[in-house]
């Protein structure tokens, strides 16, 4: 009989990154825990459907106790603190009722989550209530891991211990990173349109589009990919004329598009991660601390760019030329990093599955 898994994650956000992490996590659960059926449980304050209970609240936890064999909480930026409105608020996308969480009677697995920030901003502090909620959450977990070293450090600051094993999307396949000169176009993910509302956001968007125009002037086949439905209007307004735009909410179509590419310039975190997951070389861009956390984890600062630094367009052009030329060092470093974190990721799931099986046998 398949394992019944209640998966708490950002449901219904129209963001391909959220959906990709959910897909990769479920693939891993099936690989290490065995056949499984998943029930979506909206966990994030960004959920657009108001008709369902959100997150680890009493109603959802009681349902999980009655129906689930395993509770999986995982995916995307659910540990990113927002500006706290008051000390009694849990300033997280992940909705947590600490008292209700004490009632959870099913094994709890935490994986694939990370912190982050707004464009060009520092990571905010967790409110006192968020700190308490996170301590309860991680303390009750069968096993826990997060996507980057930045999140490990921020949780350690509030007394929560966990480990970094990388983002699940990075391990969507076991393919090594390889240069393929005969592959399709270079993919450039469109920066999040929300940065246009931030100080210097329009300036950074102009830099990104100047880069796209430069690629086109060189005759490099390219496609600008969109990863959130709300970015479409901004992309039509900002992307240079004649450059193909690609957007889909179908994950299979998205994955095929990336699989047929020669590499990825990741102004979106999960665009770069999907490229790595499919064995493509990437150039990551640290638009915010979601991206910077990945860059720090993989030690790629010299092969990445970030806002508010001099010479970033020149640096971006130089790194992309290396990618297009199949630079051996660039490819080897990314392949070594993927291999290293894949081993950590696999070990984490192997240990979590073994612990789960021991609990099941005990009773």
Residues 137 and 160: their CA atoms lie apart, in Å, by 10
- Which pLDDT score, from 0 to 100, does residue 50 have? 54
Query: Are 42 and 91 part of one and the same domain?
Result: yes
Is there a domain that residue 14 lies in? yes
pTM: 0.95
SS3 letters for 125-178?
CCCHHHHHHHHHHHHCCCEEEECCHHHHHHHHCCCCCCCECCCHHHHCCCCCCC
- Which pLDDT score, from 0 to 100, does residue 307 have? 80
* CATH number of domain containing 256: 3.40.50.2000
- Which pLDDT score, from 0 to 100, does residue 259 have? 97
- Which pLDDT score, from 0 to 100, does residue 306 have? 87
Query: Are 54 and 161 part of one and the same domain?
Result: yes
The boundaries of the domain holding residue 350 are 3-169+340-362
What residues does 164 pair with on adjacent strands?
146
Q: Based on the structure, what is the number of domains in the chain?
A: 2
pLDDT in tens, 171-211: 999 999 999 988 899 999 999 999 999 989 999 999 999 99
Is there a domain that residue 176 lies in? no
Query: Are 356 and 321 part of one and the same domain?
Result: no
Is there a domain that residue 90 lies in? yes
Query: Are 38 and 8 part of one and the same domain?
Result: yes
For the chain, the maximum distance between any two Cα atoms, rounded to a whole number of angstroms, is 65
Instruction: Please report, for the chain, how many H helices and E strands are present, in that order.
Output: 12, 10
- Which pLDDT score, from 0 to 100, does residue 51 have? 60
Low-confidence ranges of the chain (pLDDT < 70): 46-53, 87, 363
Query: Are 127 and 272 part of one and the same domain?
Result: no
- Which pLDDT score, from 0 to 100, does residue 76 have? 86
- Which pLDDT score, from 0 to 100, does residue 183 have? 84
Is there a domain that residue 9 lies in? yes
Query: Are 152 and 18 part of one and the same domain?
Result: yes
Query: Are 108 and 151 part of one and the same domain?
Result: yes
Specify the residue for token string 């891991």: 145
Query: Are 358 and 266 part of one and the same domain?
Result: no
Query: Are 284 and 352 part of one and the same domain?
Result: no
Residues 30 and 131: their CA atoms lie apart, in Å, by 32
Is there a domain that residue 268 lies in? yes
Is there a domain that residue 174 lies in? no
Query: Are 218 and 326 part of one and the same domain?
Result: yes
List strand residue ranges (DSSP E) for the chain, in order.
3-9, 36-42, 70-73, 108-113, 143-146, 186-189, 222-225, 244-246, 263-266, 282-284
Query: Are 141 and 258 part of one and the same domain?
Result: no
Is there a domain that residue 258 lies in? yes
- Which pLDDT score, from 0 to 100, does residue 360 have? 85
Query: Are 70 and 120 part of one and the same domain?
Result: yes
Is there a domain that residue 53 lies in? yes
* CATH number of domain containing 350: 3.40.50
């Amino acid at each position: 009989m398949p394992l019944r898994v209640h998966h708490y994650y950002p449901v219904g956000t129209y963001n391909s990154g959220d959906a990709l992490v959910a897909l990769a996590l479920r693939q891993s659960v099936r690989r290490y825990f065995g056949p499984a059926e998943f029930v979506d449980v909206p966990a994030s304050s960004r959920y657009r459907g108001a008709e369902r209970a959100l997150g680890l609240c009493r109603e959802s936890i009681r349902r999980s106790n009655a129906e689930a064999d395993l509770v999986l909480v995982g995916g995307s930026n659910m540990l990113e603190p927002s500006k706290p409105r008051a000390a009694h608020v849990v300033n997280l996308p992940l909705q947590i009722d600490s008292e209700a969480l004490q009632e959870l009677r099913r094994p709890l697995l935490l994986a694939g989550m990370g912190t982050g920030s707004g464009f060009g901003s520092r990571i905010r502090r967790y409110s006192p209530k968020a700190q308490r909620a996170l301590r309860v959450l991680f303390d009750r977990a069968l096993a826990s891991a997060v996507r980057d070293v930045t999140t490990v450090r921020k949780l350690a600051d509030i007394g929560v211990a966990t480990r970094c094993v990388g983002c699940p999307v990075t391990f969507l396949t076991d393919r090594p990173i390889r240069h393929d000169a005969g592959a399709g176009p270079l993919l450039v993910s469109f920066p999040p349109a929300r940065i246009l509302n931030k100080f210097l956001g329009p300036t950074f968007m102009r830099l990104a589009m100047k880069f796209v125009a430069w690629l086109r002037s060189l005759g490099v086949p390219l496609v600008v990919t969109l990863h959130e439905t709300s970015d479409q209007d901004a992309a039509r307004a900002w992307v240079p004329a004649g450059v193909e735009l690609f957007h889909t909410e179908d994950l299979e179509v998205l994955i095929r598009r990336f699989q047929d590419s020669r590499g990825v310039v990741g102004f979106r975190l999960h665009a770069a991660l999907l490229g790595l997951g499919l064995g493509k070389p990437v150039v990551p861009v640290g638009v915010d601390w979601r991206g910077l956390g990945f860059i720090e984890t993989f030690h790629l600062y010299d092969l990445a760019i970030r806002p508010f630094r001099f010479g970033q367009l020149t640096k971006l052009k130089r790194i992309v030329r290396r990618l297009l030329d199949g630079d051996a060092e660039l490819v080897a470093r990314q392949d070594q990093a993927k291999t290293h974190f894949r081993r950590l990721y696999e070990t984490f799931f192997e240990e979590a599955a073994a612990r789960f099986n021991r609990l099941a046998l005990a009773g």
